[in-house]
């Protein structure tokens, strides 16, 4: 075992241990003050945060978010007035227009990311926390918890709000814009969902649920860890609930590596699921690099038509016009909205390209088992995960413009073929980032 690992593992009283979900380093749990966070000693990833009155605050935010979700989808978001004619649309109305125009992949993507997933996030939190508040155990808490994790990853209310603001600027050059009540309720919904996600403490949730395993294994007080990483000790960390469990014998590298681990939760040889939340367990994500490259290559191929083909087709009394993503940026710049032009350029052109380059760099370095600056590569991975969703900005702008500019005698706007290609690029790059296992960055690091 390395001297570095020994320095911070040391001899201690028998306490539970945890593994970093990004670098797999085994570490002893520490007491975290209220509103504090525990970070990994090696890669500096956040292991967990502690919040005061976490579950009560989260439940309050979630209940309010459920009410605002209904309001946001029941009333118009924005309207457009031309010569006394007022055209208004709800978010579902924009989805319906895209579906009617044959853009059903785009319609489904917007429906899932802006309507379905935020609803699942709010309802999932209420499902888990309201019974606990009433002294009961929520039904199928494991399945709901896993669904909640997916909903948090794919819910993009904050990107929708920014897309609406960009669309309002473009619409203001066409006719009089009338803001609807849903625009404000969507803004409040975005803040409530963000507050709920920030306040939610999964560790506190599982500690209050009855009949679930403890937080993880523990080591004897006078014993160092048998190895530096959880995988080397035959332990798996659940990426959903964070539970550290003993791997099945077929998965373990060496039975002797974890012979001294006590109070571990055993995973039967025929099962590969977390005994607490039911998620699949793997020492490393299966076929991580192969799946990452598959999504990445498909995204690179689609990135070309996404930027070359028209993303919007506009028909008016003055003729037809086909706009690409870049021409939309130029329009915003020449119309005086240069801050939005810069924003759209970064979100819709620069970010997808930088994501492709960054994930390619991470995958190549992992393929060649590079040991160059693993901490810097870990930061790149976290940055890619953080900015991945913001490329959806242009998709939401197109949805609003398509739904509102439907004055058949004056002008109509339809989504172009590049919109589907661009949406696919965003989804594929997100899948590529999710498929990549950041622990591969550290596996190549030589243990001294």
Average pLDDT over residues 5-10: 39
Average pLDDT over residues 360-368: 95
303 and 420, same domain (yes or no)? yes
Structural domain includes residue 404: yes
CATH of the domain at 435: 1.20.140
Structural domain includes residue 258: no
User: Does the pLDDT value for residue 338 go beyond 90?
Assistant: no
User: Does the pLDDT value for residue 321 go beyond 90?
Assistant: no
**End of a domain among 190, 208, 226?**
208
pLDDT of residue 66: 97
Average pLDDT over residues 38-63: 90
Stronger pLDDT, 187 or 411, i.e. the higher one? 187
pLDDT band at 327 (very low <50, low <70, confident <90, very high): confident
Structural domain includes residue 3: no
pLDDT of residue 226: 66
63 and 201, same domain (yes or no)? yes
302 and 159, same domain (yes or no)? no
64 and 171, same domain (yes or no)? yes
Structural domain includes residue 155: yes
In terms of residue numbers, what domain contains 327? Answer: 288-443
186 and 297, same domain (yes or no)? no
pLDDT band at 5 (very low <50, low <70, confident <90, very high): very low
pLDDT, tens digit (0-9, with 9 covering 90-100), for 145-184: 999 999 999 999 999 999 998 888 888 877 788 888 999 9
pLDDT, tens digit (0-9, with 9 covering 90-100), for 54-94: 899 999 999 999 999 999 999 999 888 777 677 888 999 99
User: Does the pLDDT value for residue 1 go beyond 70?
Assistant: no
pLDDT, tens digit (0-9, with 9 covering 90-100), for 164-174: 988 888 888 77
Structural domain includes residue 294: yes
pLDDT of residue 235: 86
Structural domain includes residue 235: no
Count of domains forming the chain: 2
The 3-state secondary structure of the chain reads CCHHHHHHHCCCCCCEEEECCCCCEEEECCCCCCCCEEECCCCCCEEEECCCCHHHHHHHHHHHHHHHHHHHHHCCCEEEEECCEEEEECHHHHHHHHHHCCCHHHHHHHHHHHHHHHHHHHHHHHHHHHHHHCCCCCCCHHHHHHHHHHHHHHCCHHHHHHHHHHHHHHHHCCCEEEECHHHHHHHHHHHHHHHHHHHCCHHHHHHHCCCCCCCCCECCCCCCCCCCECHHHCEEECCCCCCEEECCCCCCCCHHHHCCCECCCECCCCCCECCCCCCECCCCCCCHHHHHHHHHHHHHHHHHHHHHCCCEEEEECCEEEEECHHHHHHHHHHCCCHHHHHHHHHHHHHHHHHHHHHHHHHHHHHHCCCCCCHHHHHHHHHHHHHHHHHHHHHHHHHHHHHHHCEECCCEEEEECHHHHHHHHHHHHHHHHHHHCCCHHHHHCCCCC
Structural domain includes residue 33: no
Average pLDDT over residues 227-250: 80
202 and 294, same domain (yes or no)? no
Average pLDDT over residues 118-129: 96
User: Does the pLDDT value for residue 270 go beyond 60?
Assistant: no
Q: Average pLDDT, whole number, for the chain?
A: 83
User: Does the pLDDT value for residue 257 go beyond 50?
Assistant: no
pTM value is 0.86
pLDDT, tens digit (0-9, with 9 covering 90-100), for 394-445: 899 888 888 887 765 556 788 889 999 999 999 999 999 999 999 999 988 7
pLDDT band at 28 (very low <50, low <70, confident <90, very high): confident
**End of a domain among 157, 184, 208?**
208
């Amino acid at each position: 075992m390395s001297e570095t690992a020994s320095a911070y593992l040391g001899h201690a009283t028998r306490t539970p241990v945890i593994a970093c979900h990004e670098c797999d380093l085994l570490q002893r749990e520490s007491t975290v003050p209220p509103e504090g966070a525990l970070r990994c000693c090696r890669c500096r990833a956040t292991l967990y945060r502690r919040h005061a009155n976490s579950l009560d605050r989260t439940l309050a935010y979630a209940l309010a978010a459920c009410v605002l979700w209904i309001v946001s989808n029941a009333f118009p978001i924005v309207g457009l007035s031309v010569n006394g004619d007022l055209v208004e649309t709800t978010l579902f109305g924009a989805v319906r227009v895209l579906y009617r125009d044959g853009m059903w992949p785009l319609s489904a993507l917007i429906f899932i990311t802006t309507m379905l997933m935020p609803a699942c996030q709010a309802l999932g939190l209420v499902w888990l926390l309201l019974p606990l508040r009433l002294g009961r155990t929520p039904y199928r808490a494991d399945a709901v918890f896993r669904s909640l994790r997916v909903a948090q990853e794919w819910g993009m209310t904050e990107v929708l709000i920014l897309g609406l603001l960009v669309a309002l600027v473009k619409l203001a050059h066409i006719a009089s814009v009338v803001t609807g009540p849903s625009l404000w309720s969507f803004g409040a919904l975005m803040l409530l969902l963000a507050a709920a996600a920030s306040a939610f403490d999964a560790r506190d949730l599982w500690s209050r649920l009855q009949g679930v395993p403890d937080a993880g294994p523990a080591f004897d007080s006078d014993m160092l860890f048998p190895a530096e990483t959880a995988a080397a000790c035959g332990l798996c960390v659940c990426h959903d609930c964070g539970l550290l469990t003993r791997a099945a014998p077929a998965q373990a590298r060496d039975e002797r590596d974890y012979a001294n681990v006590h109070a571990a939760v055993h995973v039967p040889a025929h099962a590969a699921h977390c005994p607490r939340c039911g998620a699949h367990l793997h020492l490393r994500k299966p076929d991580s690099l192969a799946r990452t490259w598959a999504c990445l290559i498909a995204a690179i191929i689609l990135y070309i038509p996404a930027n070359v083909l028209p993303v919007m087709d506009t028909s008016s009394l003055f003729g037809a016009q086909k706009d690409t993503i870049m021409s939309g940026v130029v329009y915003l710049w020449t119309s005086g909205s240069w801050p939005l032009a810069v924003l759209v350029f970064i979100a819709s052109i620069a970010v997808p390209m930088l994501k492709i380059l960054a994930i390619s760099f991470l995958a190549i370095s992992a393929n060649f088992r590079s040991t160059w600056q693993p901490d810097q590569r870990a930061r790149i991975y976290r940055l890619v995960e953080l900015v991945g969703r913001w490329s959806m900005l242009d998709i939401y702008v197109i949805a609003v413009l398509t739904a509102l500019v439907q004055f058949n005698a004056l002008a109509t706007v339809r989504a172009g073929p590049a919109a589907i290609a661009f949406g696919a690029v965003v989804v594929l790059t997100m899948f590529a980032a999710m498929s990549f296992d950041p622990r591969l960055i550290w596996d190549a690091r030589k243990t001294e």
